[in-house]
C-alpha cells in the first residue's frame, strides 16, 4: 500500500490546547478581547511595526486597509494577477474595480514594468501580492506608487515571517494584510491581521472592524455606563479570543516552523534540481522566502491534470498553484495576461508543511520523478 503525504498540515499541539483552555477559563471568548490585544503586541515584532489589528481573515484585512486609505465606488485598484481571488474580491467589496496586471515569470509577483500602463485617472492604489510567500519588488512598486500619488497595500497572506532587502514584511507598504488560514506558516484555522507604519490607519480600521464603534474591551471596568453611538458603517471583522490564543503560541513557534519549511524546500531542490520535465521555484537572494507552498512548473508537453492524478494515486497530496484572476468570470472583461495564464495552466503545488520528515520529502521526490518521466502523462 502506498504511503500518504499530505499537501498541507498545521503544526499544533498541547501548547495550543493549553492556550485555548486558558481562554475558556477566562470567560472571554468573543472577538477583540484581551487575547487579541496581547497577540497584536506580540505579532508587532513579526510585522516590524507597532500598529497591528487582528482580523477575521486576510480578505477582511485587505478590505479594511482600502477603506481607511480612502477607496470609494468607481475607483480602480491595480492588483497582481496571480493570486487567490480574495484579493480581487476585497476591491469589489468597496465598489471599486480591480485592474489586473501580469506577473514576473520567475517569482510570479506583479511585474513593475507593466504597472504604469494600467494606471488611469481613476486609479487609487496598488495591491501587490507575495505569491506563496516570496515578497514582490517593493522598491520599484513603491517608487511607482509615490510618483503617481497612489497608496500601496501588500497582500502578505502567505508571507508571515518574510523579509525584503533586510526589512520585515509589514514595514514597507501603507498597509499589509496577513492570513492565518490552515495552510499558512502559522495558523489558527482561520484569521488574519492588518499592520501599518501609520497608527491613524490602524486606529480607524479598529473602529470599522467592530461595526463602527470602539471594541467592548475599551469600556471594561469603567465607573460609568457609556453608550456608544454609530456614525460610520462598520463590519464584524474581529478575530475571536480563542483564535488569538492559538496565534500567540504560533507566533512563538514561528522561527522553528519557518526553519522546517526551509529544510523541506532545500530537500526538494537537492532531489529534483536535475529534473528536466519540471522547473523548481526561484528564491531570490535579497528576500527571505517563508515557503507557504512549494509550487513546481511542469513542462508544456506534460498534461498537468494527468500528472496530478498520478501523484495523488500514489499518496502524494497536490493541487494547482493559485488563480489567474483575470480569467475568472466575476471580474468581467480584463486585458489578456499571458504569463499569469500560463502559470495557472502549468503549476502544481506539492507537499509543504513543517511536519514533513526527510523520508517524506524523499518519497515525494521519488514519486514525482517517476510520474513526470512516464510518457503516458504527455499531451
Residues classed as catalytic: 184
CA dihedral 65, 71, 76, 80 (to 10 degrees): 0
The SS3 of residue 379 is coil
- Neighbouring C-beta atoms of residue 73, cutoff 10 Å: 8
Residue with cell 526527510: 358
Give the cell for residue 212.
Answer: 463602527
H or E segment and range at residue 201: helix 199-208
Question: 107, 155 in Cβ contact below 8 A?
Answer: no
Altogether, the residues listed in the chain come to a count of 379
Rounded to whole angstroms, how far apart are CA atoms 227 and 47? 34
- The three-state DSSP-derived secondary structure of 189-246 is ECCEEEEECCHHHHHHHHHHCECCCCCHHHHCCCCCCCCCCCCCCCCECCCEHHHHHH
d(CA 142, CA 173): 8
284, 266 Cβ separation under 8 angstroms: no
> Please, how many CA atoms are within 13 Å of residue 158, restricted to the half-sphere of its CB?
27
- Pair 14, 359: CB distance under 8 Å: no
Give CA–CA dist 364/271, Å, rounded: 10
Residue pair 200/175 in contact (Cβ under 8 Å)? The answer is no
Distance between start and end Cα atoms, the chain? 29
Amino acid at each position: 500500500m502506498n504511503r500518504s503525504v499530505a499537501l498541507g498540515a498545521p503544526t499544533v499541539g498541547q501548547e495550543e490546547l493549553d492556550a485555548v483552555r486558558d481562554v475558556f477559563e477566562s470567560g472571554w471568548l468573543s472577538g477583540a478581547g484581551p487575547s487579541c490585544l496581547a497577540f497584536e503586541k506580540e505579532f508587532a515584532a513579526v510585522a516590524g511595526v507597532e500598529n497591528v489589528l487582528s482580523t477575521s481573515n486576510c480578505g477582511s484585512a485587505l478590505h479594511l486597509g482600502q477603506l481607511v486609505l480612502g477607496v470609494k465606488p468607481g475607483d480602480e485598484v491595480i492588483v497582481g494577477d496571480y493570486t487567490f481571488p480574495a484579493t480581487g474580491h476585497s476591491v469589489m467589496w468597496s465598489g471599486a474595480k480591480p485592474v489586473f496586471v501580469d506577473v514576473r515569470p520567475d517569482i510570479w509577483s506583479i511585474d513593475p514594468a507593466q504597472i504604469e500602463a494600467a494606471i488611469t485617472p481613476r486609479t487609487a492604489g496598488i495591491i501587490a501580492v507575495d505569491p506563496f510567500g516570496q515578497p514582490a519588488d517593493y522598491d520599484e512598486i513603491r517608487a511607482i506608487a509615490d510618483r503617481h500619488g497612489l497608496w500601496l497595500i501588500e497582500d502578505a497572506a502567505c508571507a508571515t515571517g518574510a523579509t525584503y532587502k533586510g526589512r520585515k514584511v509589514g514595514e514597507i507598504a501603507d498597509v499589509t494584510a496577513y492570513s492565518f488560514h490552515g495552510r499558512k506558516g502559522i495558523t489558527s484555522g482561520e484569521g488574519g491581521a492588518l499592520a501599518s507604519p501609520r497608527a491613524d490607519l490602524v486606529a480607524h480600521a479598529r473602529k470599522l472592524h467592530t461595526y463602527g464603534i470602539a471594541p467592548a474591551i475599551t469600556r471594561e471596568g469603567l465607573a460609568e455606563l457609556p453608550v456608544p453611538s454609530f456614525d460610520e458603517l462598520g463590519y464584524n471583522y474581529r478575530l475571536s479570543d480563542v483564535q488569538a490564543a492559538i496565534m500567540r503560541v504560533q507566533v512563538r513557534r514561528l522561527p522553528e516552523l519557518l526553519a522546517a519549511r526551509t529544510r523541506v524546500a532545500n530537500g526538494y531542490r537537492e532531489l529534483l534540481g536535475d529534473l528536466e520535465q519540471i522547473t523548481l521555484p526561484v528564491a531570490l537572494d535579497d528576500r527571505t522566502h517563508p515557503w507557504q507552498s512549494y509550487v513546481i512548473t511542469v513542462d508544456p508537453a506534460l498534461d498537468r491534470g494527468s500528472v496530478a492524478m498520478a501523484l495523488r494515486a500514489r499518496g502524494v497530496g497536490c493541487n494547482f498553484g493559485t488563480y489567474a484572476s483575470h480569467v475568472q468570470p466575476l471580474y468581467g472583461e480584463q486585458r489578456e495576461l499571458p504569463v499569469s495564464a500560463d502559470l495557472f495552466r502549468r503549476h502544481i503545488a506539492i507537499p509543504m508543511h513543517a511536519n514533513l520528515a526527510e523520508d517524506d520529502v524523499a518519497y515525494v521526490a521519488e514519486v514525482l520523478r517517476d510520474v513526470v518521466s512516464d510518457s503516458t502523462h504527455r499531451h
